[in-house]
Structure 1
Protein backbone atom coordinates (compact mmCIF):
# COMPACT_ATOMS: atom_id res chain seq x y z
CA UNK A 1 0.00 0.00 0.00
CA UNK A 2 1.27 3.46 -0.90
CA UNK A 3 0.58 6.39 1.40
CA UNK A 4 -1.11 9.17 -0.57
CA UNK A 5 0.20 12.56 0.57
CA UNK A 6 -1.88 15.62 -0.28
CA UNK A 7 -1.09 17.97 2.59
CA UNK A 8 1.23 20.96 2.74
CA UNK A 9 2.65 22.63 5.85
CA UNK A 10 -0.76 23.96 6.93
CA UNK A 11 -1.57 26.52 9.64
CA UNK A 12 -0.22 26.58 13.19
CA UNK A 13 -3.11 24.46 14.53
CA UNK A 14 -2.16 21.66 12.11
CA UNK A 15 1.51 21.84 13.10
CA UNK A 16 0.51 21.58 16.78
CA UNK A 17 -1.53 18.43 16.14
CA UNK A 18 1.30 16.86 14.13
CA UNK A 19 3.81 17.59 16.89
CA UNK A 20 1.47 16.35 19.64
CA UNK A 21 0.69 12.98 18.04
CA UNK A 22 3.78 12.33 15.94
CA UNK A 23 5.55 10.25 18.63
CA UNK A 24 2.54 8.16 19.72
CA UNK A 25 1.60 5.65 17.03
CA UNK A 26 3.15 2.36 18.17
CA UNK A 27 1.16 2.07 21.40
CA UNK A 28 -1.63 4.44 20.44
CA UNK A 29 -4.56 2.00 20.25
CA UNK A 30 -3.74 0.00 23.36
CA UNK A 31 -3.11 3.08 25.47
CA UNK A 32 -6.19 4.81 24.08
CA UNK A 33 -8.33 1.97 25.41
CA UNK A 34 -6.46 1.69 28.70
CA UNK A 35 -6.52 5.39 29.53
CA UNK A 36 -10.22 5.69 28.64
CA UNK A 37 -11.07 2.66 30.84
CA UNK A 38 -12.24 0.85 27.71
CA UNK A 39 -14.84 3.48 26.86
CA UNK A 40 -13.24 4.59 23.60
CA UNK A 41 -14.33 1.37 21.88
CA UNK A 42 -17.91 1.80 23.09
CA UNK A 43 -17.96 5.34 21.74
CA UNK A 44 -16.51 4.26 18.40
CA UNK A 45 -19.07 1.49 18.09
CA UNK A 46 -21.90 3.95 18.71
CA UNK A 47 -20.51 6.26 16.02
CA UNK A 48 -20.20 3.45 13.47
CA UNK A 49 -23.74 2.31 14.39
CA UNK A 50 -25.03 5.66 13.11
CA UNK A 51 -23.34 5.03 9.75
CA UNK A 52 -24.51 1.44 9.37
CA UNK A 53 -28.10 2.54 10.07
CA UNK A 54 -28.03 4.73 6.93
CA UNK A 55 -30.74 4.06 4.37
CA UNK A 56 -28.30 4.92 1.55
CA UNK A 57 -26.17 2.16 -0.01
CA UNK A 58 -22.66 2.54 1.39
CA UNK A 59 -20.14 2.28 -1.44
CA UNK A 60 -17.55 4.86 -0.38
CA UNK A 61 -16.97 6.10 3.19
CA UNK A 62 -14.44 8.65 4.48
CA UNK A 63 -12.95 8.53 7.98
CA UNK A 64 -11.28 11.84 8.92
CA UNK A 65 -8.61 12.03 11.65
CA UNK A 66 -8.26 8.28 11.16
CA UNK A 67 -5.02 8.00 13.17
CA UNK A 68 -3.86 4.39 12.98
CA UNK A 69 -6.97 3.43 10.98
CA UNK A 70 -8.96 1.84 13.80
CA UNK A 71 -12.29 3.40 12.81
CA UNK A 72 -11.56 2.86 9.10
CA UNK A 73 -11.16 -0.85 9.75
CA UNK A 74 -14.31 -0.93 11.90
CA UNK A 75 -16.20 0.57 8.97
CA UNK A 76 -14.70 -1.98 6.58
CA UNK A 77 -15.62 -4.81 8.95
CA UNK A 78 -19.25 -3.71 9.31
CA UNK A 79 -20.03 -2.54 5.77
CA UNK A 80 -19.13 -3.54 2.22
CA UNK A 81 -17.90 -0.02 1.43
CA UNK A 82 -14.53 1.12 0.20
CA UNK A 83 -13.08 3.18 3.06
CA UNK A 84 -10.68 6.10 2.82
CA UNK A 85 -8.90 7.14 6.01
CA UNK A 86 -7.43 10.66 6.13
CA UNK A 87 -5.10 12.05 8.77
CA UNK A 88 -2.60 14.87 9.17
CA UNK A 89 0.11 12.80 10.88
CA UNK A 90 2.21 10.56 8.67
CA UNK A 91 3.69 8.39 11.48
CA UNK A 92 0.14 7.48 12.54
CA UNK A 93 -0.79 6.58 8.97
CA UNK A 94 2.30 4.42 8.48
CA UNK A 95 1.36 2.34 11.52
CA UNK A 96 -2.19 2.32 10.17
CA UNK A 97 -0.91 0.87 6.90
CA UNK A 98 0.73 -1.98 8.77
CA UNK A 99 -2.48 -2.68 10.69
CA UNK A 100 -4.61 -2.56 7.55
CA UNK A 101 -2.29 -5.07 5.84
CA UNK A 102 -2.26 -7.35 8.89
CA UNK A 103 -6.07 -7.38 8.97
CA UNK A 104 -6.32 -8.15 5.23
CA UNK A 105 -8.07 -4.87 4.30
CA UNK A 106 -5.55 -3.61 1.73
CA UNK A 107 -8.10 -3.89 -1.07
CA UNK A 108 -10.79 -2.04 0.88
CA UNK A 109 -9.02 0.63 2.97
CA UNK A 110 -6.71 3.30 1.58
CA UNK A 111 -4.97 5.94 3.68
CA UNK A 112 -4.42 9.57 2.68
CA UNK A 113 -2.35 12.26 4.42
CA UNK A 114 -4.36 15.47 4.30
CA UNK A 115 -6.13 18.25 6.18
CA UNK A 116 -9.75 18.14 7.31
CA UNK A 117 -10.03 21.86 6.55
CA UNK A 118 -9.11 21.30 2.88
CA UNK A 119 -10.15 17.83 1.79
CA UNK A 120 -8.60 16.59 -1.47
CA UNK A 121 -11.90 15.23 -2.83
CA UNK A 122 -14.63 16.60 -5.13
CA UNK A 123 -18.09 17.51 -3.86
CA UNK A 124 -20.45 14.64 -3.01
CA UNK A 125 -17.78 11.93 -3.26
CA UNK A 126 -18.77 9.81 -0.26
CA UNK A 127 -21.93 8.11 1.00
CA UNK A 128 -20.96 8.69 4.64
CA UNK A 129 -18.22 10.31 6.71
CA UNK A 130 -16.91 9.84 10.24
CA UNK A 131 -14.46 11.91 12.27
CA UNK A 132 -12.96 11.45 15.72
CA UNK A 133 -11.39 13.90 18.21
CA UNK A 134 -10.99 16.53 15.48
CA UNK A 135 -12.66 19.83 16.29
CA UNK A 136 -10.31 20.84 19.13
CA UNK A 137 -7.41 20.84 16.65
CA UNK A 138 -8.82 23.10 13.94
CA UNK A 139 -8.88 26.89 13.97
CA UNK A 140 -12.47 27.20 12.72
CA UNK A 141 -14.73 24.24 13.67
CA UNK A 142 -17.76 25.63 11.79
CA UNK A 143 -15.80 26.04 8.55
CA UNK A 144 -14.31 22.55 8.98
CA UNK A 145 -17.79 21.06 9.37
CA UNK A 146 -18.86 22.77 6.14
CA UNK A 147 -15.86 21.27 4.38
CA UNK A 148 -16.63 17.79 5.76
CA UNK A 149 -20.26 18.02 4.65
CA UNK A 150 -19.18 19.21 1.20
CA UNK A 151 -17.73 15.83 0.22
CA UNK A 152 -20.79 13.80 1.34
CA UNK A 153 -23.67 13.08 -1.01
CA UNK A 154 -27.12 14.48 -0.16
CA UNK A 155 -28.76 12.18 2.36
CA UNK A 156 -25.43 10.75 3.48
CA UNK A 157 -24.63 10.36 7.18
CA UNK A 158 -21.94 12.35 8.99
CA UNK A 159 -21.05 10.96 12.44
CA UNK A 160 -18.46 12.03 14.99
CA UNK A 161 -16.87 11.15 18.29
CA UNK A 162 -15.43 13.76 20.64
CA UNK A 163 -14.50 13.91 24.29
CA UNK A 164 -16.99 15.74 26.50
CA UNK A 165 -17.05 17.33 29.96
CA UNK A 166 -19.32 15.79 32.64
CA UNK A 167 -21.85 18.24 34.03
CA UNK A 168 -23.02 16.43 37.15
CA UNK A 169 -21.64 17.91 40.41
CA UNK A 170 -20.22 14.55 41.48
CA UNK A 171 -18.58 13.47 38.23
CA UNK A 172 -17.00 16.76 37.15
CA UNK A 173 -14.52 16.94 40.11
CA UNK A 174 -13.62 13.27 39.59
CA UNK A 175 -13.15 13.87 35.86
CA UNK A 176 -10.88 16.83 36.60
CA UNK A 177 -8.84 14.75 39.06
CA UNK A 178 -8.45 12.02 36.47
CA UNK A 179 -7.57 14.28 33.54
CA UNK A 180 -5.25 16.57 35.54
CA UNK A 181 -3.38 13.99 37.62
CA UNK A 182 -4.05 10.33 36.82
CA UNK A 183 -4.14 10.61 33.03
CA UNK A 184 -0.67 12.23 32.71
CA UNK A 185 0.77 9.75 35.22
CA UNK A 186 -0.81 6.78 33.43
CA UNK A 187 0.47 8.08 30.12
CA UNK A 188 3.99 8.43 31.49
CA UNK A 189 4.01 4.91 32.95
CA UNK A 190 2.39 3.27 29.94
CA UNK A 191 3.80 5.24 27.04
CA UNK A 192 6.61 7.53 28.16
CA UNK A 193 7.05 11.30 27.94
CA UNK A 194 5.04 11.74 24.72
CA UNK A 195 1.95 10.19 26.28
CA UNK A 196 2.46 12.16 29.49
CA UNK A 197 2.48 15.35 27.40
CA UNK A 198 -0.79 14.36 25.75
CA UNK A 199 -2.26 13.50 29.14
CA UNK A 200 -1.41 16.94 30.52
CA UNK A 201 -2.87 18.61 27.46
CA UNK A 202 -6.19 16.76 27.19
CA UNK A 203 -8.18 17.88 30.23
CA UNK A 204 -7.61 21.64 29.91
CA UNK A 205 -8.03 21.41 26.13
CA UNK A 206 -11.40 19.66 26.39
CA UNK A 207 -12.74 22.12 28.95
CA UNK A 208 -11.57 25.13 26.98
CA UNK A 209 -13.17 23.77 23.81
CA UNK A 210 -16.57 23.46 25.49
CA UNK A 211 -16.25 26.87 27.09
CA UNK A 212 -15.93 28.29 23.59
CA UNK A 213 -18.35 25.92 21.84
CA UNK A 214 -21.02 24.42 24.09
CA UNK A 215 -23.04 21.38 23.03
CA UNK A 216 -25.90 23.54 21.74
CA UNK A 217 -23.38 25.50 19.66
CA UNK A 218 -22.05 22.24 18.22
CA UNK A 219 -25.55 21.36 17.05
CA UNK A 220 -25.98 24.80 15.48
CA UNK A 221 -22.62 24.46 13.72
CA UNK A 222 -23.68 21.12 12.26
CA UNK A 223 -26.94 22.63 11.09
CA UNK A 224 -25.08 25.61 9.65
CA UNK A 225 -22.96 23.18 7.64
CA UNK A 226 -26.10 21.86 5.95
CA UNK A 227 -26.73 18.86 8.18
CA UNK A 228 -30.25 17.92 9.27
CA UNK A 229 -31.72 15.48 11.80
CA UNK A 230 -28.73 16.16 14.05
CA UNK A 231 -28.59 13.89 17.11
CA UNK A 232 -26.32 13.92 20.16
CA UNK A 233 -25.54 11.12 22.60
CA UNK A 234 -23.52 11.90 25.71
CA UNK A 235 -21.93 8.69 26.99
CA UNK A 236 -19.97 7.32 29.96
CA UNK A 237 -21.25 9.76 32.61
CA UNK A 238 -20.51 12.67 30.29
CA UNK A 239 -17.00 11.74 29.17
CA UNK A 240 -17.80 11.08 25.51
CA UNK A 241 -20.01 12.67 22.87
CA UNK A 242 -21.28 10.96 19.72
CA UNK A 243 -23.10 13.09 17.13
CA UNK A 244 -24.66 12.25 13.80
CA UNK A 245 -26.83 13.82 11.12
CA UNK A 246 -27.62 13.75 7.41
CA UNK A 247 -26.51 16.04 4.62
CA UNK A 248 -29.60 17.95 3.48
CA UNK A 249 -31.17 17.18 0.13
CA UNK A 250 -31.38 13.42 0.20
Structure 2
Protein backbone atom coordinates (compact mmCIF):
# COMPACT_ATOMS: atom_id res chain seq x y z
CA UNK A 1 0.00 0.00 0.00
CA UNK A 2 1.22 3.48 -0.79
CA UNK A 3 2.27 5.78 2.01
CA UNK A 4 1.71 9.52 1.70
CA UNK A 5 3.15 12.61 3.32
CA UNK A 6 1.72 16.01 2.50
CA UNK A 7 4.25 18.68 3.42
CA UNK A 8 3.38 22.36 3.75
CA UNK A 9 5.38 25.39 4.83
CA UNK A 10 3.19 28.05 6.42
CA UNK A 11 4.22 31.66 7.01
CA UNK A 12 2.91 33.96 9.75
CA UNK A 13 0.28 31.38 10.60
CA UNK A 14 -2.76 31.74 12.83
CA UNK A 15 -5.14 28.78 12.55
CA UNK A 16 -8.44 28.55 14.38
CA UNK A 17 -9.30 25.48 16.44
CA UNK A 18 -9.73 22.43 14.25
CA UNK A 19 -8.97 18.74 13.96
CA UNK A 20 -8.09 16.47 11.08
CA UNK A 21 -7.98 12.81 10.17
CA UNK A 22 -4.21 12.73 9.68
CA UNK A 23 -1.29 12.47 12.02
CA UNK A 24 0.30 15.89 11.96
CA UNK A 25 3.87 16.95 12.64
CA UNK A 26 4.36 20.70 13.11
CA UNK A 27 7.92 22.00 13.48
CA UNK A 28 9.23 25.55 13.74
CA UNK A 29 11.56 26.60 10.99
CA UNK A 30 12.98 29.48 13.00
CA UNK A 31 11.26 30.91 16.09
CA UNK A 32 9.16 29.28 18.86
CA UNK A 33 5.38 29.37 18.59
CA UNK A 34 2.30 28.79 20.74
CA UNK A 35 -0.21 25.99 20.31
CA UNK A 36 -3.30 25.01 22.26
CA UNK A 37 -3.94 21.26 22.15
CA UNK A 38 -7.07 19.75 23.73
CA UNK A 39 -7.55 22.98 25.68
CA UNK A 40 -3.98 23.11 27.05
CA UNK A 41 -1.79 26.06 26.05
CA UNK A 42 1.79 25.18 25.11
CA UNK A 43 3.92 28.33 24.91
CA UNK A 44 7.18 28.90 23.03
CA UNK A 45 7.45 25.36 21.74
CA UNK A 46 9.40 24.21 18.70
CA UNK A 47 7.02 21.57 17.46
CA UNK A 48 4.60 18.73 18.14
CA UNK A 49 3.31 15.42 16.84
CA UNK A 50 -0.45 15.02 17.21
CA UNK A 51 -2.86 12.15 16.77
CA UNK A 52 -5.84 12.35 14.40
CA UNK A 53 -9.04 14.03 15.61
CA UNK A 54 -7.43 15.97 18.48
CA UNK A 55 -8.66 19.61 18.58
CA UNK A 56 -5.88 22.20 18.44
CA UNK A 57 -4.77 25.51 16.98
CA UNK A 58 -1.46 27.31 16.39
CA UNK A 59 -0.19 30.89 16.42
CA UNK A 60 3.14 31.67 14.76
CA UNK A 61 2.85 35.34 13.86
CA UNK A 62 6.54 35.95 13.20
CA UNK A 63 7.86 32.62 12.05
CA UNK A 64 7.56 29.77 9.58
CA UNK A 65 6.10 26.38 10.39
CA UNK A 66 6.71 23.13 8.55
CA UNK A 67 3.57 20.99 8.61
CA UNK A 68 3.56 17.31 7.66
CA UNK A 69 0.17 15.63 7.32
CA UNK A 70 0.43 11.85 7.27
CA UNK A 71 -2.36 9.46 6.45
CA UNK A 72 -3.04 7.35 9.56
CA UNK A 73 -3.61 4.18 7.51
CA UNK A 74 -0.29 4.49 5.69
CA UNK A 75 2.84 2.63 6.73
CA UNK A 76 4.28 5.80 8.26
CA UNK A 77 1.00 6.51 10.05
CA UNK A 78 1.09 3.06 11.62
CA UNK A 79 4.70 3.68 12.60
CA UNK A 80 3.80 6.94 14.32
CA UNK A 81 0.88 5.37 16.18
CA UNK A 82 3.39 3.24 18.08
CA UNK A 83 5.27 6.31 19.35
CA UNK A 84 2.44 7.35 21.68
CA UNK A 85 1.88 6.11 25.22
CA UNK A 86 -1.57 4.87 26.14
CA UNK A 87 -4.11 7.75 26.26
CA UNK A 88 -1.45 10.20 24.99
CA UNK A 89 -2.83 12.61 22.38
CA UNK A 90 0.26 14.60 21.45
CA UNK A 91 4.02 14.80 21.88
CA UNK A 92 5.38 18.33 22.34
CA UNK A 93 8.95 19.36 21.51
CA UNK A 94 10.21 22.22 23.66
CA UNK A 95 13.53 22.60 21.83
CA UNK A 96 15.19 21.66 18.52
CA UNK A 97 17.27 19.11 20.44
CA UNK A 98 14.11 17.28 21.51
CA UNK A 99 12.94 17.25 17.90
CA UNK A 100 16.25 15.86 16.69
CA UNK A 101 16.28 13.18 19.38
CA UNK A 102 12.71 12.05 18.68
CA UNK A 103 13.10 11.78 14.92
CA UNK A 104 16.77 10.73 15.07
CA UNK A 105 17.83 13.56 12.78
CA UNK A 106 21.20 15.39 12.75
CA UNK A 107 21.83 17.48 15.86
CA UNK A 108 20.89 21.17 15.54
CA UNK A 109 19.33 20.55 12.11
CA UNK A 110 15.87 21.99 11.43
CA UNK A 111 15.70 20.70 7.85
CA UNK A 112 12.24 19.14 7.44
CA UNK A 113 13.57 16.89 4.69
CA UNK A 114 15.72 15.13 7.29
CA UNK A 115 12.57 14.33 9.25
CA UNK A 116 10.88 12.96 6.13
CA UNK A 117 13.91 10.82 5.28
CA UNK A 118 14.04 9.49 8.83
CA UNK A 119 10.36 8.50 8.72
CA UNK A 120 10.78 6.76 5.38
CA UNK A 121 13.86 4.86 6.57
CA UNK A 122 11.92 3.22 9.40
CA UNK A 123 9.03 1.85 7.36
CA UNK A 124 8.01 -1.58 8.68
CA UNK A 125 7.05 -4.39 6.29
CA UNK A 126 3.26 -4.54 5.98
CA UNK A 127 1.13 -7.07 4.15
CA UNK A 128 -2.34 -5.92 3.15
CA UNK A 129 -5.21 -8.03 1.88
CA UNK A 130 -5.14 -7.85 -1.93
CA UNK A 131 -8.76 -6.64 -1.93
CA UNK A 132 -7.85 -3.67 0.25
CA UNK A 133 -4.89 -2.90 -2.01
CA UNK A 134 -7.17 -3.03 -5.04
CA UNK A 135 -9.55 -0.51 -3.45
CA UNK A 136 -6.69 1.83 -2.55
CA UNK A 137 -5.45 1.67 -6.14
CA UNK A 138 -8.95 2.37 -7.45
CA UNK A 139 -9.30 5.44 -5.22
CA UNK A 140 -5.88 6.68 -6.29
CA UNK A 141 -6.88 6.48 -9.96
CA UNK A 142 -10.54 7.55 -9.69
CA UNK A 143 -10.80 9.94 -6.71
CA UNK A 144 -12.08 12.73 -9.00
CA UNK A 145 -15.32 10.88 -9.82
CA UNK A 146 -18.17 12.37 -7.80
CA UNK A 147 -20.47 9.34 -8.20
CA UNK A 148 -18.38 6.86 -6.17
CA UNK A 149 -20.52 4.94 -3.64
CA UNK A 150 -19.94 2.06 -1.19
CA UNK A 151 -21.44 -0.24 -3.81
CA UNK A 152 -18.83 0.94 -6.32
CA UNK A 153 -16.09 -0.44 -4.08
CA UNK A 154 -18.01 -3.62 -3.26
CA UNK A 155 -18.47 -4.48 -6.93
CA UNK A 156 -14.73 -4.21 -7.57
CA UNK A 157 -13.77 -6.92 -5.06
CA UNK A 158 -17.02 -8.95 -5.01
CA UNK A 159 -17.81 -8.35 -1.35
CA UNK A 160 -20.88 -6.88 0.29
CA UNK A 161 -20.48 -3.21 1.23
CA UNK A 162 -20.64 -4.07 4.96
CA UNK A 163 -18.03 -6.85 4.68
CA UNK A 164 -15.67 -4.66 2.67
CA UNK A 165 -16.13 -1.73 5.09
CA UNK A 166 -15.20 -4.02 7.99
CA UNK A 167 -12.17 -5.46 6.19
CA UNK A 168 -10.90 -2.04 5.10
CA UNK A 169 -11.28 -0.61 8.60
CA UNK A 170 -9.54 -3.61 10.15
CA UNK A 171 -6.59 -3.41 7.74
CA UNK A 172 -6.11 0.35 7.50
CA UNK A 173 -7.67 1.87 10.61
CA UNK A 174 -9.78 4.16 8.41
CA UNK A 175 -13.25 4.01 6.95
CA UNK A 176 -13.56 3.96 3.18
CA UNK A 177 -15.33 7.30 3.14
CA UNK A 178 -12.57 8.99 5.16
CA UNK A 179 -9.88 7.48 2.96
CA UNK A 180 -11.63 8.80 -0.17
CA UNK A 181 -12.13 12.23 1.40
CA UNK A 182 -8.50 12.47 2.48
CA UNK A 183 -7.31 11.49 -1.00
CA UNK A 184 -9.46 14.20 -2.57
CA UNK A 185 -8.32 16.82 -0.08
CA UNK A 186 -4.68 15.88 -0.50
CA UNK A 187 -4.96 16.22 -4.26
CA UNK A 188 -6.87 19.51 -3.99
CA UNK A 189 -4.11 20.94 -1.79
CA UNK A 190 -1.43 19.69 -4.14
CA UNK A 191 -3.07 21.36 -7.16
CA UNK A 192 -3.81 24.55 -5.22
CA UNK A 193 -0.17 25.00 -4.23
CA UNK A 194 1.50 23.69 -7.38
CA UNK A 195 -0.71 25.46 -9.94
CA UNK A 196 -1.70 28.77 -8.38
CA UNK A 197 -3.31 30.01 -11.61
CA UNK A 198 -6.06 27.39 -11.40
CA UNK A 199 -9.33 28.62 -9.92
CA UNK A 200 -10.45 27.00 -6.68
CA UNK A 201 -13.83 26.24 -8.25
CA UNK A 202 -12.16 24.23 -11.02
CA UNK A 203 -9.98 22.45 -8.48
CA UNK A 204 -13.05 21.49 -6.44
CA UNK A 205 -14.77 19.94 -9.48
CA UNK A 206 -11.58 18.26 -10.69
CA UNK A 207 -10.97 16.50 -7.36
CA UNK A 208 -14.41 15.00 -6.86
CA UNK A 209 -16.19 17.64 -4.79
CA UNK A 210 -19.65 18.81 -5.78
CA UNK A 211 -18.66 22.47 -5.65
CA UNK A 212 -16.32 24.96 -3.99
CA UNK A 213 -18.47 25.36 -0.84
CA UNK A 214 -18.13 21.63 -0.18
CA UNK A 215 -14.35 21.79 -0.63
CA UNK A 216 -14.25 24.82 1.68
CA UNK A 217 -16.26 22.96 4.31
CA UNK A 218 -14.03 19.89 4.41
CA UNK A 219 -10.79 21.86 4.09
CA UNK A 220 -11.80 24.02 7.03
CA UNK A 221 -12.72 20.97 9.11
CA UNK A 222 -9.41 19.28 8.27
CA UNK A 223 -6.95 22.17 8.42
CA UNK A 224 -8.71 25.06 10.15
CA UNK A 225 -8.60 27.27 7.06
CA UNK A 226 -10.30 27.35 3.64
CA UNK A 227 -8.24 26.62 0.51
CA UNK A 228 -8.04 30.34 -0.33
CA UNK A 229 -6.17 31.06 2.91
CA UNK A 230 -3.97 28.01 2.40
CA UNK A 231 -3.17 29.17 -1.13
CA UNK A 232 -1.79 32.53 -0.01
CA UNK A 233 -0.04 31.54 3.23
CA UNK A 234 1.64 28.22 2.38
CA UNK A 235 4.16 26.60 0.09
CA UNK A 236 4.23 22.97 -0.91
CA UNK A 237 7.19 21.00 0.46
CA UNK A 238 6.48 17.63 -1.15
CA UNK A 239 3.96 14.84 -1.46
CA UNK A 240 4.72 11.12 -1.35
TM-score by length of 2: 0.30
Task: Give TM-score, length-normalised by structure 1.
Answer: 0.29
Q: Which structure's residues are more often helix, by fraction?
A: 1
